């Protein structure tokens, strides 16, 4: 019996850099194939827009070939529960509605910024309440400042939840637990992994706020283009914890996890070959028969392929992620130095090895111990693959 669920593993180390030059310096896209454990994963550099196009082209080509892809990016896919309600006064129905709201605030054109209407459509056709228009396309810090002002006005607080260097406020001031809405500072998945930062921190060592705001806006665009091209996609865990075998799977990743030697096996026992498990692990074999004919429309749904900038991969070639951290680049005084390409490659190696061993289905399963309220939140906030 074939244990592998996927044929291709593709992950990006993301960046919130402003210039295209800096984006190409820090955004690393790494792709590996099943059975290629002895090969160096291919890594290229992109801007954020080029990464969307590269992802679309990979998914379209794989769909046409009957191959299944698991892929993802190292930024938050959702924001902590309650932000949308606190800023807009409206109820958030699902994750895609949140993406549409954020994308409209970050990515609209100058012409769209002058519209009087304050409503738009998400990729599912639902009406969403938008932020007030701004004179120019806003940057994440400007958008966050606008949200802070809206929340402060509605809740009577000094400011909103966003903070960080080169921002006002520069330090955490928002009384999260003491407001009427009792906004959580972190997502549920972050409460289970010490050291993970809140998306509300915009800048500073280890922060993910800026790149997450940029990244979520691009996710909205990626989903829109996949839908237009007929690419079958399961957004995990928003569309459910168990991906159907006839869809590609998009997951949120956190490279630090996969560089840890202790994460070689899930905490639960490796599943046995029961009826339900067989349906999950044979997905790669059934994908070709279910590939939709609409995937051929990709050429008209995305611009021409970007020209990647070759970049060296500093990680070793061993297939097991436990060895991926064994020979990192060295910084000053001989200290280990992580690289963007190395982080992306670690994601590929870990996912490929877990899939080879038949364990990836366990990591994709619902984590133990979630309460009904936490399940509700996770459906809006997302989850990091590898956190249990």
- Co-location of 15 and 125 in the same domain: no
* C-alpha to C-alpha distance for 281 and 300, rounded to whole angstroms: 33
Residues 6+ apart with CB under 8 A from 185: 80, 161, 176, 198, 200
Task: Over range 168-193, report the average pLDDT.
Answer: 90
pLDDT at 179 over 90: no
316-333 pLDDT, tens digit each = 323 333 333 333 443 344
Residue 115's domain comprises: 83-183
pLDDT at 216 over 90: yes
- Co-location of 62 and 138 in the same domain: no
pLDDT at 127 over 60: no
- Co-location of 45 and 136 in the same domain: no
- Co-location of 69 and 101 in the same domain: no
Higher pLDDT, 67 or 104: 67
**For position 72, what pLDDT does the model report?**
98
280-319 pLDDT, tens digit each = 333 444 455 444 444 444 444 444 555 554 443 333 323 3
Higher pLDDT, 214 or 320: 214
* 257 domain-assigned: yes
pLDDT at 240 over 60: yes
Query: CB of 358 within 8 A of CB of 270?
Result: yes
**CA 55 → CA 46, 52, 224, 277, 294, distances in Å?**
11, 5, 13, 29, 17
- Co-location of 270 and 360 in the same domain: yes
The candidate with the shortest Cα–Cα distance to 351, out of 250, 203, 207, is 250
Query: CB of 293 within 8 A of CB of 387?
Result: no
- Co-location of 252 and 345 in the same domain: yes
* 196 domain-assigned: no
pLDDT at 114 over 50: no
* 3 domain-assigned: no
Which token pair is 366?
Answer: 């619902």
Mapping DSSP onto H, E and C, the string for 304-345 reads CCCCCEECCCCCCCCCCHHHCCCCCEECHHHCEECCHHHHHH
The candidate with the shortest Cα–Cα distance to 253, out of 383, 149, 144, 83, is 383
Q: Which residue has the tokens 């990836």?
A: 360
State the pLDDT confidence band at 347, using cuts at 50, 70 and 90. Answer: very high
**For position 137, what pLDDT does the model report?**
41
**For position 202, what pLDDT does the model report?**
95
- Co-location of 71 and 111 in the same domain: no
Which of these ranges, 38-47, 166-175, 288-297, 311-320, has the smallest mean pLDDT? 311-320
Q: Which residue has the tokens 């994709």?
A: 364
Which of these ranges, 108-112, 249-253, 351-355, has the smallest mean pLDDT? 108-112
Which token pair is 70?
Answer: 């698991």
pLDDT at 16 over 90: no
**For position 2, what pLDDT does the model report?**
64
Which token pair is 75?
Answer: 């930024």
Query: CB of 148 within 8 A of CB of 170?
Result: no
- Co-location of 68 and 139 in the same domain: no
* C-alpha to C-alpha distance for 69 and 88, rounded to whole angstroms: 36
**CA 235 → CA 116, 238, 355, distances in Å?**
33, 6, 18
**For position 287, what pLDDT does the model report?**
59
The candidate with the shortest Cα–Cα distance to 226, out of 29, 378, 71, is 71
Which token pair is 293?
Answer: 């004919």
Which of these ranges, 43-52, 131-140, 173-182, has the smallest mean pLDDT? 131-140
- Co-location of 324 and 251 in the same domain: yes
Task: Over range 57-77, report the average pLDDT.
Answer: 98
In sequence order, the β-bridge partners of residue 72 are: 11, 251
For the chain, give the mean pLDDT: 79
Higher pLDDT, 138 or 379: 379
- Co-location of 217 and 155 in the same domain: no
* C-alpha to C-alpha distance for 5 and 234, rounded to whole angstroms: 14
Identify the domain boundary among 133, 168, 183.
Answer: 183
Total domains in the chain come to 2
- Co-location of 109 and 222 in the same domain: no
Three-state secondary structure call for residue 273? coil
- Co-location of 59 and 154 in the same domain: no
Which of these ranges, 323-327, 348-352, 365-369, has the smallest mean pLDDT? 323-327
């Amino acid at each position: 019996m074939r244990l592998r669920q996927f044929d291709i593993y593709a992950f990006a180390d993301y960046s919130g850099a402003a210039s295209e030059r800096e984006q190409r310096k820090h955004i690393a896209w790494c792709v590996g194939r099943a059975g290629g454990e002895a090969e160096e994963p291919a890594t290229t550099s992109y801007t954020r827009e080029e990464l969307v196009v590269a992802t679309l082209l990979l998914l379209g080509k794989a769909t046409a070939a009957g191959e299944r892809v698991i892929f993802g990016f190292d930024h938050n896919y959702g924001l902590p529960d309650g932000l949308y309600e606190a800023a807009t006064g409206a109820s958030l129905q699902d994750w895609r509605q949140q993406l549409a709201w954020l994308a409209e605030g970050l990515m609209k054109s100058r012409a769209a910024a002058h519209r009087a209407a304050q409503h738009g459509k998400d990729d599912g056709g639902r009406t969403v309440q938008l932020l007030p228009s701004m004179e120019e396309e806003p940057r994440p810090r400007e958008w966050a400042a606008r949200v802070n002002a809206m929340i402060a006005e509605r809740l009577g607080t000094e400011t909103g939840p966003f903070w960080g260097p080169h921002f006002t406020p520069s330090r955490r001031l928002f009384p999260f637990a003491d407001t009427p809405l009792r906004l959580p500072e972190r997502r549920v998945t972050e409460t289970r992994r010490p050291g993970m930062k809140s998306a509300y921190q915009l800048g500073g060592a280890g922060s993910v706020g800026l790149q997450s705001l940029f990244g979520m806006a691009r996710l909205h665009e990626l989903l829109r283009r996949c839908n237009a091209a007929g690419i079958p996609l399961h957004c995990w865990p928003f569309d459910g914890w168990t991906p159907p075998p006839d869809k590609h799977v998009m997951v949120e990743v956190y490279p630090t996890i996969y560089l840890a030697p202790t994460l070689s096996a899930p905490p639960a026992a490796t599943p046995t070959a029961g009826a339900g498990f067989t349906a999950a692990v044979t997905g790669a074999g059934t994908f070709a028969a279910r590939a939709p004919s609409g995937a051929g429309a990709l050429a008209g749904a995305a611009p021409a392929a970007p020209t990647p900038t070759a970049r060296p991969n500093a990680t070793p070639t061993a297939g097991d992620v436990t060895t991926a951290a064994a020979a990192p680049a060295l910084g000053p005084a001989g200290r280990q130095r992580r690289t963007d390409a190395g982080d992306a490659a670690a994601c590929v190696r870990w996912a490929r090895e877990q899939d080879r061993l038949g364990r990836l289905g366990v990591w994709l399963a619902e984590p133990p111990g979630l309460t009904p309220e936490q399940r509700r939140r996770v459906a809006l906030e997302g989850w990091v693959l590898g956190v249990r």
